[in-house]
């Protein structure tokens, strides 16, 4: 029997609806050179360092579980998500190479004119330490291999220092000091009459997050935090009234460390990064209780998440702050941040600040060269570079331990943004109600859409003279930081919103220099016989 006209019309409507749905499905979107999103994701998953769950969690080559699969995910919750549902901008390989070429600096990165007068150099590596805290992934390698599409079943990002404490003294006992009288303290390594990260017989660091041994500076920061915790254990023993409820000495010290760290993250690091005006617009502390005002980051979901716009673009601003050379202390002067090849190459050991190795003798840091800390001896406070689209030369040719088979950090960042189908910077600015940068302001060869990472760096230079992030990048970072803090059930913001640091400060509020002083690490002059210093 032939179908009636009414039945035929109904069938046609159903077919139309099915076709429309197919066209709108995320996996069916195609980028500017015609590749579907699934192809990009599959390519990412099979490319070493860009989505492979089998890559060791060491350095910038490691990608967090589930991140590469986000573009085609139908889930709206989990560790990674999106702040904006906008069309993707996926530049071709040729376009990425063209943009990367204009982001590579010709000089060695030591030009004083490129220094940021408002942010000392230590904040670059504090930012890296914070990133590792937010993206700490405690699951086993077996779980990673059998759960490559994980988007929901792992821990939420928090400022809880799990990269320092790991899973605690019961599960990660190898990180804790078991000597009588040292209960509740973190293990400190020692060799050549100097302190170092605790290491095994093969010099692998015994720490909560292996990435915190990636370079000398973040390694020394990890060591500073270990010592800071131990100082707080001593303080709690001397002042038992600091305990709350049935807290043990370790738990009280851990809370004090975490809350002072969270205070530094917001009132020191974030303030310098986004500017006081942006911080005040997101965090209102004029009333009796601080209030967080979010416009774009949804912190009311089941658990906080890291937006891909933050993880792959906005928070990568720190790469532009890295200097080409640093002076570590009074003896180790003017060495390259990284050298190509392997950091373990004997020819490179004392010529650069790569990590994943035992600390060379006389290489303890003098923090007064990196933070506004008063210490013995004379020194010049090194500053970060301006936040802009020019990256220091060493980042274009990273060591094998960090860069793997893709040594250019610029290429890695741009390619990762493309494979995760990020929107263009202009589209994100428009969605936020911010006037986008003009073609002339963007200074891109050939004009056109700007990758979000490039846009945020260029916006900082144009709108804030490179001193801090601009309105798009600054609001993304500020809202994510404060959204995560406000949703953390163990943060000072949730448990005790009127809490203030109990440790002394030399400025208007407790800051990173005060934390360094409290730790006691890196405050002395590193001295040795004339000509004995590595790099001298």
CATH of the domain at 70: 1.10.640
Average pLDDT value for the chain: 84
The model's confidence at residue 2, banded by pLDDT at 50, 70 and 90, is very low
pLDDT given at position 254: 98
Tell me whether residue 536 is in a domain: no
User: For residue 358, how many other CB atoms are within 10 A of its CB?
Assistant: 17
Between residues 89 and 63, which one has the greater pLDDT? 89
Closest CA to 169 of 240, 223, 250, 224: 250
pLDDT digits (tens, 9 = 90+) for 285-303: 999 999 999 999 986 665 7
| SS3 state of residue 476 | helix
Tell me whether residue 150 is in a domain: yes
Tell me whether residue 170 is in a domain: yes
The model's confidence at residue 415, banded by pLDDT at 50, 70 and 90, is very high
pLDDT given at position 80: 78
**Structural domains counted in the chain:** 1
Pairing relationship of beta strands 115-120 and 80-81 according to DSSP bridges: unpaired
pLDDT given at position 301: 61
Which helix (H) or strand (E) covers residue 463, if one does?
Answer: helix 452-464
pLDDT given at position 426: 98
CA distance readout (Å), 113 to 103, 383, 460, 463, 520 = 17, 11, 16, 18, 33
Average pLDDT over residues 409-421: 93
Identify the weakest region by mean pLDDT among 104-118, 207-221, 522-536: 522-536
Tell me whether residue 530 is in a domain: no
Average pLDDT over residues 167-177: 94
How far does the chain reach from its first CA to its final CA, in angstroms?
Answer: 95
Identify the weakest region by mean pLDDT among 331-335, 350-354, 392-396, 496-500: 392-396
Percent of the chain scoring above 70 in pLDDT:
76
| Statement: residue 76 has pLDDT above 60 | no
Range of the domain at 440: 28-519
Sign of the four-CA dihedral 525, 527, 531, 535: negative
The model's confidence at residue 46, banded by pLDDT at 50, 70 and 90, is very low
pLDDT given at position 106: 66
pLDDT digits (tens, 9 = 90+) for 342-388: 766 788 889 999 889 999 999 999 999 999 998 655 678 999 999 99
Between residues 379 and 129, which one has the greater pLDDT? 129
Report d(CA 192, CA 360) in Å as an integer. Answer: 9
Tell me whether residue 464 is in a domain: yes
pLDDT given at position 110: 53
pLDDT given at position 407: 84
DSSP strands (E only) in 19-132: 80-81, 115-120
Average pLDDT over residues 29-54: 43
| Statement: residue 140 has pLDDT above 60 | no
DSSP strands (E only) in 163-320: 189-191, 194-196, 283-284, 291-292, 306-307
Tell me whether residue 443 is in a domain: yes
| Statement: residue 181 has pLDDT above 50 | yes
Beta-bridge partners for 336:
325, 352
pLDDT digits (tens, 9 = 90+) for 237-270: 999 999 999 999 999 999 999 999 999 999 999 9
Tell me whether residue 20 is in a domain: no
Tell me whether residue 23 is in a domain: no
Query: Helices (DSSP H) in 78-197: which residue ranges?
Result: 93-103, 122-134, 141-146, 162-165
Burial class (CB in 10 A: 0-12, 13-18, 19+), 70: buried
């Amino acid at each position: 029997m032939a179908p009636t006209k009414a039945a035929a019309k109904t069938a046609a409507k159903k077919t139309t609806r099915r076709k429309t749905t197919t066209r709108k499905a995320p996996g069916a979107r195609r980028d500017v050179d015609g590749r579907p999103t699934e192809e990009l994701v599959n390519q990412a998953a099979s490319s070493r360092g860009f989505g492979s769950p089998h890559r060791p969690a060491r350095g910038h080559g490691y990608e967090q579980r589930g991140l590469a699969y986000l573009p085609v995910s139908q889930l709206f919750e989990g560790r990674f998500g999106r702040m904006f549902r906008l069309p993707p901008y996926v530049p071709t390989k040729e376009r990425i190479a063209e943009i990367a070429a204009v982001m590579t600096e010709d000089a060695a990165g030591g030009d004083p004119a490129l220094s940021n007068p408002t942010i000392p150099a230590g904040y670059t590596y504090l930012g890296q330490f914070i990133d590792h805290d937010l993206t700490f992934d405690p699951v086993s390698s077996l779980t990673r291999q059998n759960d490559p599409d994980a988007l929901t079943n792992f821990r939420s990002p928090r400022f809880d220092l799990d990269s320092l404490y790991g899973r605690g003294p019961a599960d990660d006992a190898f990180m804790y000091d078991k000597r009588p009288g040292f209960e509740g303290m973190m293990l400190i390594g020692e060799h050549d009459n100097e302190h170092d990260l605790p290491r095994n017989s093969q010099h692998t660091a015994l720490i909560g997050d292996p990435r915190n041994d990636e370079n000398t500076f973040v390694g020394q920061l990890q060591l500073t935090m270990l010592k800071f915790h131990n100082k707080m254990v001593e303080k709690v023993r001397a002042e038992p009234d600091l305990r709350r409820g049935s807290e043990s000495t370790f738990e009280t010290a851990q809370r004090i460390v975490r809350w002072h760290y969270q205070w530094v993250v917001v009132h020191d690091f974030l303030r310098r990064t986004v500017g006081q005006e942006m911080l005040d617009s997101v965090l209102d502390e004029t009333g009796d209780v601080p209030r967080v005002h979010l416009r774009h980051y949804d912190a009311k979901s089941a658990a906080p998440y890291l937006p891909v716009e933050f993880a792959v673009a906005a928070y990568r601003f720190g790469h532009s702050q890295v200097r080409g050379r640093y002076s570590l202390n009074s003896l180790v002067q003017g060495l390259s941040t990284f050298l190509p090849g392997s950091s373990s190459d004997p020819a490179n050991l004392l010529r650069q600040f790569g990590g994943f190795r035992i600390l060379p003798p006389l290489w303890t840091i003098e923090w007064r060269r990196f933070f506004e800390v008063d210490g013995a001896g004379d020194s010049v406070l090194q500053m970060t570079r301006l936040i802009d689209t020019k990256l220091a030369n060493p980042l274009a040719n990273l060591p094998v331990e960090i860069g793997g088979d893709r040594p250019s950090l610029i290429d890695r960042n741009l390619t990762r943004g493309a494979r995760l189908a990020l929107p263009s910077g202009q589209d994100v600015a428009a969605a936020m109600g911010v006037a986008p940068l003009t073609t002339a302001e963007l200074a891109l060869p050939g004009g056109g859409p700007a990758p979000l990472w490039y846009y945020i760096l260029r916006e900082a230079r144009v709108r804030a003279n490179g001193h801090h992030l601009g309105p798009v990048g600054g609001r993304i970072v500020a809202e994510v930081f404060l959204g995560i803090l406000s949703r953390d059930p163990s943060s000072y913001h949730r448990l005790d919103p009127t809490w203030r640091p109990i440790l002394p400060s030399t400025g208007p509020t407790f800051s990173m220099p005060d934390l360094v002083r409290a730790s006691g690490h890196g405050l002395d002059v590193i001295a040795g016989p004339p000509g004995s210093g590595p790099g001298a």
